[in-house]
Amino acid sequence: MSTIHPLDDRVVILVLDAEEVTAGGIVLPDSAQEKQQRGRVTAVGHGRLLKNGQRAAMNIKKGDQVIFGRYAGTDVTIDKVEYKIMRESEILARCD
């Protein structure tokens, strides 16, 4: 198994599975499912490098569930598992 170590203010997100059944109980085939926009943070970089040489603190930590934009980040597949790598600023919200 490979380990991903994001750089700077990037985070690695494990994309959660898309809903297979609608609120009305209709089962959706894979081709009709929307691209999932939720995931769990699996790795966090050290923070953006500031002009004074220090690192900006990250607001997101490993284990957080987050919501991100539909086209945010870069899709990466490692060991048949789908991840997204994106900057912290591309994350829209953290879920409690």
Q: Is residue 83 included in any domain, yes or no?
A: yes
CATH code, 27: 2.30.33.40
Determine phi and psi for 13, rounding to 5 degrees.
-120, 130
Q: Is residue 49 included in any domain, yes or no?
A: yes
- Residues in a beta bridge with 81: 78
Instruction: State residue 28's pLDDT score.
Output: 55
pTM, entire model: 0.77
Instruction: State residue 25's pLDDT score.
Output: 63
Average pLDDT by consecutive 10-residue portion of the chain (96 residues)?
82 79 58 70 92 91 93 90 92 90
Instruction: State residue 1's pLDDT score.
Output: 46
Contact between 6 and 79 (Cβ < 8 Å): no
How many domains is the chain partitioned into structurally? Answer: 1
Q: The domain containing residue 24 runs over which residues?
A: 10-95
